[in-house]
A and B are shown apart, each in its own frame.
Chain A
Amino acid sequence: MKRRKIFAVTAVGAAAALMISACSSSSGSSSTGGTNNTTTGTVAFNAGITGVVNASSHKGGTLIYDDSSTPDSFDPGNTYYAWVLNFDRLFVMPLYTFKSCPGTCGEQLVPDLATDMGTVSSDGLTWTFHIQSGIKYEDGTVVTAKDVKYGIERTYDRSVAANGPTYYQALLTDPKYPGPYKDKSPTGLTAIDTPNATTLVMHLQAPFPDLPDVLAFPSSAPVPQAKDTGSNYQLHPVSTGPYMFKSYTLNKQLTLVPNPNWSAATDPNAKQLASQIIVNLNVNQADIDNRLLHGDIQVDAAGTGLAAAARAQVLANPTDKANSDNPVNGFARFIYINTKVAPLNNIHCREAIEYAANKVTMQTAWGGPIAGGQIGSTVMPPNIMGYKSFDYYNALSQPNGDMTNAKQQLQACGQPNGFSTSLAYRSDRPTEVAAVTALQASLQTAGIKVTLKGFPSGSYYTDFAGAPAYVHSHDLGLAAGGWGADWPDGFGFLDSLVAGNTIVATGNTNIAEENNPVVNNLFTQSSKVTGAARTAIWSQIDEQVMKDAVILPMVYQKVLLFRPTNLTNVYVQAYYGMYNYAVMGVSS
């Protein structure tokens, strides 16, 4: 073909120019890396979801991560990215963490720096926690309860640390505490007391059974006040985990080395194996995939899986396929259907959309059943505690769309020939673009004319889809959205999406503006009960929300992860939906 010949000629020209540097290839790497050190666990497709692959206690070697962008921050009190939450456990010990084991075992919350699951007073407002004694920082000083309190206090000054979760302000008493940089008093945050060096007492505004889940964020890791450098702390956080910072060039590279003052006995959920961990930032996704498949690096840090080309290669090659896993990653993709924008304020028009949408084309747009995900019929994905499967709009039985029912609902809402509305989406996310395009095409066949409006993802929630005033004035009846729970139970998943009291003027995530008293009551009830009764409430909320037709589920996202053969102790940790970064090592 014409094209190939030109490139052949170009190749000749380029080769001539290369005589200068014509040395033979350095690493001589072919497809899947070095020798296979399998001691336990068969190497097969999806073996990493249910068991540990390549279990090994081999120490040494350099473990390399590549990331296609940058973390929001490596300061443990200032991050909200899923992979960073996973990765932080290599250099900090939060109070609680998720158990390091494969399968549903990994959904369990267990004490990390803490000694037990904490005791709560009878009115539910006071929690007492104890931390292990004798835990040391990287410089040998001992961790005290005051350090844990300080670590939490410093997240209150939003002008310095703006990225992290905001649960402390919402849950603890003394929400107006301005942070330790502005408030120099010795008591500091009155919501937390430290009666002795290993005890913390926390006071809540209202009962909240999931408090230990909130303390699983790395913001509960101890920070020595004397070493706190504010917005520069991200350059070298003081380590309590198996590794510590050796060097960090912003936007480029992080190097970690083993922390000599960490003891494995105090931290069974992390391992200290590799003698060096390197994270390369801002690497092109195509490069990451190639380096991964060649064994030049071991992990794609973001955990969002291989892109299309590498996926096709891996799935077509049986050896490569056996070295990959396809887990559900806890993210659900859906469309918000706004209850305030006409004519969607009529429930039948909303139901028409639920019936008419072609779920298969949307799934294909997201990447098909392997890389896109499972077609959804509920708000919560299957890996959330309390998930129950139901299907009100025949999403599973008629995934190509149910036009009969759609037409009926259009009649019922007084728009027999369809109607027009606009759909907001993030224009810099190619898969989201493809998915909403598919939706537009399928709704068109029912006579529903959708105008697509793209916005940059940086300001999507703050200025556009998440600003109800903008939504109303621009007729944005539909909006693309996605959600991953902050912890794997229904509260973490549903509260910000459908609770009436979470609607705000900017940064709104209850974009459908669902404010149903039935749902709101169920949420209030959930803070009053525990155990199985509480878990049952989540599916009730889910069912009511689906009956209200305010969310059109698209997929429960799945990703295709590849594990090079020289990566050890590899398995998927259920909550993060990616490999457990706290325990991996490298062989050879």
Chain B
Amino acid sequence: MIYFIIRRLILTVFLLLLVSAITFAIFFLVPRLAGQTAYQLAAQYVGRNPTPDAIRAVEIKLGLNDPLYLQYGRFIKGIIFGVHYNNGPDVSYCPFPCFGYSFRNQEPVWPQLISDAPVTLSLAIGASVLWLIGGVSIGVLSALRRGSFFDRLSMGIALAGVSLPVFFTGLMALELFSYKWSLFPNVHYVGITSNPVQWARNLVLPWVTLAFLYAALYARLTRAGMLETMGEDYIRTARAKGLPERVVIVKHGLRAALTPIVTIFGLDLGLLLGGAILTESTFSFPGLGQFTILAIQNQDLPEIMGVVMIAAFFIVVANMIVDILYAVVDPRVRF
């Protein structure tokens, strides 16, 4: 097991390097192939009516006319060894990990990411806890009460959740619970350290919005999985052995049904940033999702690289954990 973890960690580093190279290629190379010159790229970071000298100065400052492999090398070197940046009267230095300086506002990217990360983490962790617990328990209960009113009702709602876009659900939630009925007036992000109660209160709507979609999926999957395993022979054996029903359900039934759940959870972590992008923009939460949209809109390459690398890092680590859980949950799977 330890050997497995070490092997995966080494692979993770290579994986992140690969991700960074592909990201770099997509954001830097493809526009070049489409005909965009360094001059044109630099022209996006000047104001109205710029002079050619201004554009050229920006081009040189940002190193845009260097060959791509040089820019990429510089970027990787910058992450590890830090970057010295000429801000005018003197030179500032940003230490490891340094994703460079934003093209748009010329401030270091990493501190901006750090200040945005807690928002997205609050959103993601809260929502995933909600949807795991909610989805799985509703799925189990529905499976056990197959055909009852509860079963049909919850599966109906689950279908609704899966069929609606998250930006739509979020907007409806805002409209009803915040604007119309003022249960949550003036939803805006409050840090957990400044006021934990307000933090939780303002996050309820985004949590429910994000979780609603995924919980539905998990409820359906758990239900299907439970129905399958509860019909297996070993369940009958366990019951015949005289084990209490609760033990039968959880220890024997649920455990086997969890395999696809665990798989999908790992996959969903990858989709979480996407969901965060839409949720954050609906509720105006200043997190990594919003940061990403702005970075892409501004074609602000250091910011884009920074946020993609962070997201990739979390996804890869999470997938590794999921793979380990996979082995724990399903004893038939061997490495």
Which of B246-254, B261-269, B294-302, B318-326 forms part of the interface with chain A? Answer: B294-302
Q: Is B237 an interface residue (CB 8 A)?
A: no
Q: Which of A26, A80, A282, A505 contacts B185 (CB 8 A)?
A: A26
Q: Which of A6, A26, A158, A230 contacts B87 (CB 8 A)?
A: A230
Contact indicator per residue, chain A 1-14, by CB within 8 Å of chain B (1) or not (0): 00000110111011
Contact B197 A162, beta carbon cutoff 8 Å: no
Contact B50 A507, beta carbon cutoff 8 Å: yes
Residues of chain A within 8 A (CB-CB) of B58 are: 158-159, 162
Contact A284 B204, beta carbon cutoff 8 Å: no
Q: A7-B172, A290-B179, A458-B298 are in contact. Are A228 and B89 (CB under 8 A)?
A: yes
Rounded to whole Å, the gap between the CB of B48 and the closest CB of chain A is 5
Contact A231 B115, beta carbon cutoff 8 Å: no
Rounded to whole Å, the gap between the CB of A303 and the closest CB of chain B is 17
Contact B204 A21, beta carbon cutoff 8 Å: yes
Q: Is B20 an interface residue (CB 8 A)?
A: no
Which of A43-51, A244-252, A545-553, A579-587 forms part of the interface with chain B? Answer: A244-252
Residues of chain B within 8 A (CB-CB) of A170 are: 51
Which residue of B has the minimal Cβ distance to A466?
A: B43
Rounded to whole Å, the gap between the CB of B306 and the closest CB of chain A is 13
Q: A157-B88, A250-B112 are in contact. Are A9 and B297 (CB under 8 A)?
A: no
Q: Which of B48, B182, B200 contacts A80 (CB 8 A)?
A: B48
Which residue of B has the minimal Cβ distance to A464?
A: B40
Rounded to whole Å, the gap between the CB of A476 and the closest CB of chain B is 15
Q: A10-B212, A14-B177 are in contact. Are A496 and B49 (CB under 8 A)?
A: yes
Q: Which of B288-330 contact A (CB under 8 A)?
A: 290-291, 294, 297-299
Q: Which of A166, A228, A280 contacts B49 (CB 8 A)?
A: A166
Contact A459 B40, beta carbon cutoff 8 Å: yes
Which of B1-9, B22-30, B223-231, B277-285 forms part of the interface with chain A? Answer: B277-285
Q: Is A463 an interface residue (CB 8 A)?
A: yes
Interface size class of B (residues with CB under 8 A): 35 or more
Contact indicator per residue, chain B 157-194, by CB within 8 Å of chain A (1) or not (0): 10010000000000111101111001101111000000
Q: Which of A25, A230, A252, A504 contacts B88 (CB 8 A)?
A: A230
Residues of chain A within 8 A (CB-CB) of B208 are: 14, 17
Contact B157 A428, beta carbon cutoff 8 Å: no
Residues of chain A within 8 A (CB-CB) of B54 are: 158, 162, 166
Q: A229-B88, A507-B55 are in contact. Are A165 and B105 (CB under 8 A)?
A: no
Rounded to whole Å, the gap between the CB of B19 and the closest CB of chain A is 25
Question: CA separation between A192 and B177, bound complex, in Å?
Answer: 60
Q: Is A467 an interface residue (CB 8 A)?
A: yes
Q: Is B125 an interface residue (CB 8 A)?
A: no
Q: Is A169 an interface residue (CB 8 A)?
A: yes
Residues of chain B within 8 A (CB-CB) of A251 are: 105, 112, 286, 291, 294
Contact B89 A462, beta carbon cutoff 8 Å: no
Residues of chain A within 8 A (CB-CB) of B43 are: 459, 461-463, 506-507
Contact B90 A230, beta carbon cutoff 8 Å: yes
Question: CA separation between A170 and B183, bound complex, in Å?
Answer: 57
Contact A181 B55, beta carbon cutoff 8 Å: no
Residues of chain B within 8 A (CB-CB) of A231 are: 87-88, 106-107
Q: Is B52 an interface residue (CB 8 A)?
A: yes
Q: Is A391 an interface residue (CB 8 A)?
A: no
Question: CA separation between A39 and B60, bound complex, in Å?
Answer: 57
Rounded to whole Å, the gap between the CB of B135 and the closest CB of chain A is 12
Q: Which of A14, A159, A180, A296 contacts B60 (CB 8 A)?
A: A159
Residues of chain A within 8 A (CB-CB) of B147 are: none
Question: CA separation between A327 and B282, bound complex, in Å?
Answer: 29
Q: Which of B44, B51, B297 contacts A462 (CB 8 A)?
A: B44
Q: Which of A7, A80, A158 contacts B176 (CB 8 A)?
A: A7
Contact A166 B176, beta carbon cutoff 8 Å: no
Q: Which of A465-491 contact B (CB under 8 A)?
A: 467
Question: CA separation between A29 and B174, bound complex, in Å?
Answer: 16
Q: Which of A138-193 contact B (CB under 8 A)?
A: 154, 157-160, 162-166, 169-170, 180-181
Question: CA separation between A233 and B178, bound complex, in Å?
Answer: 38
Question: CA separation between A118 and B312, bound complex, in Å?
Answer: 59
Q: Which of B200-246 contact A (CB under 8 A)?
A: 200-201, 204, 208, 212
Rounded to whole Å, the gap between the CB of B119 and the closest CB of chain A is 10
Contact indicator per residue, chain A 321-342, by CB within 8 Å of chain B (1) or not (0): 0000000000000000000000
Q: A7-B176, A162-B58, A230-B88 are in contact. Are A18 and B50 (CB under 8 A)?
A: no
Interface of A is mostly: loop
Q: Which of A29, A72, A154, A250 contacts B107 (CB 8 A)?
A: A250
Q: Is A294 an interface residue (CB 8 A)?
A: yes
Contact A284 B185, beta carbon cutoff 8 Å: no
Q: Is B67 an interface residue (CB 8 A)?
A: no
Q: Which of B29-68 contact A (CB under 8 A)?
A: 36, 39-40, 43-55, 57-58, 60-61
Residues of chain B within 8 A (CB-CB) of A533 are: none
Question: CA separation between A249 and B112, bound complex, in Å?
Answer: 9
Contact A506 B286, beta carbon cutoff 8 Å: no
Residues of chain B within 8 A (CB-CB) of A252 are: 115, 286
Contact B204 A504, beta carbon cutoff 8 Å: no
Residues of chain A within 8 A (CB-CB) of B130 are: 17
Question: CA separation between A192 and B69, bound complex, in Å?
Answer: 44
Residues of chain A within 8 A (CB-CB) of B284 are: 282-284, 287
Contact indicator per residue, chain A 27-47, by CB within 8 Å of chain B (1) or not (0): 101000000000000000000
Residues of chain A within 8 A (CB-CB) of B44 are: 458-459, 462
Q: Is A456 an interface residue (CB 8 A)?
A: yes
Residues of chain A within 8 A (CB-CB) of B51 are: 158, 166, 169-170
Residues of chain B within 8 A (CB-CB) of A442 are: none
Q: A21-B200, A21-B204, A231-B88 are in contact. Are A163 and B115 (CB under 8 A)?
A: no
Q: A27-B185, A284-B284 are in contact. Are A506 and B55 (CB under 8 A)?
A: yes
Rounded to whole Å, the gap between the CB of A235 and the closest CB of chain B is 8
Question: CA separation between A476 and B157, bound complex, in Å?
Answer: 50
Residues of chain A within 8 A (CB-CB) of B187 are: 287
Contact indicator per residue, chain B 99-126, by CB within 8 Å of chain A (1) or not (0): 0000001110000100100000000000
Question: CA separation between A360 and B89, bound complex, in Å?
Answer: 54
Which residue of B has the minimal Cβ distance to A68?
A: B284
Question: CA separation between A287 and B174, bound complex, in Å?
Answer: 9
Question: CA separation between A279 and B174, bound complex, in Å?
Answer: 22
Contact B89 A282, beta carbon cutoff 8 Å: no
Q: A10-B157, A10-B212, A294-B186 are in contact. Are A158 and B197 (CB under 8 A)?
A: no
Most-contacted residue by chain B among A21, A159, A294 (CB, 10 A): A159
Question: CA separation between A10 and B298, bound complex, in Å?
Answer: 37
Q: Which of A25, A229, A235 contacts B182 (CB 8 A)?
A: A25
Contact A458 B185, beta carbon cutoff 8 Å: no
Q: Which of B49, B86, B88, B197 contacts A21 (CB 8 A)?
A: B197
Question: CA separation between A10 and B89, bound complex, in Å?
Answer: 58
Question: CA separation between A234 and B45, bound complex, in Å?
Answer: 16
Residues of chain A within 8 A (CB-CB) of B47 are: 72, 79-80, 162-165
Q: Is A524 an interface residue (CB 8 A)?
A: no
Contact B107 A162, beta carbon cutoff 8 Å: no
Q: Is A397 an interface residue (CB 8 A)?
A: no
27 residue pairs of the A-B complex, CB under 8 angstroms, read A10-B212, A14-B177, A20-B200, A25-B185, A80-B48, A157-B88, A158-B53, A158-B58, A159-B57, A159-B86, A162-B47, A163-B46, A228-B89, A234-B105, A250-B105, A282-B294, A283-B188, A283-B284, A284-B283, A286-B171, A296-B186, A458-B297, A459-B36, A459-B44, A506-B43, A506-B52, A509-B49
Other A-B pairs, 6, CB within 8 Å; known A6-B160, A157-B88, A459-B44: A25-B183, A27-B185, A159-B86, A163-B46, A461-B43, A463-B40
9 closest Cβ pairs, A-B complex: A230-B88, A462-B43, A158-B54, A163-B47, A159-B61, A231-B106, A230-B87, A284-B284, A80-B47
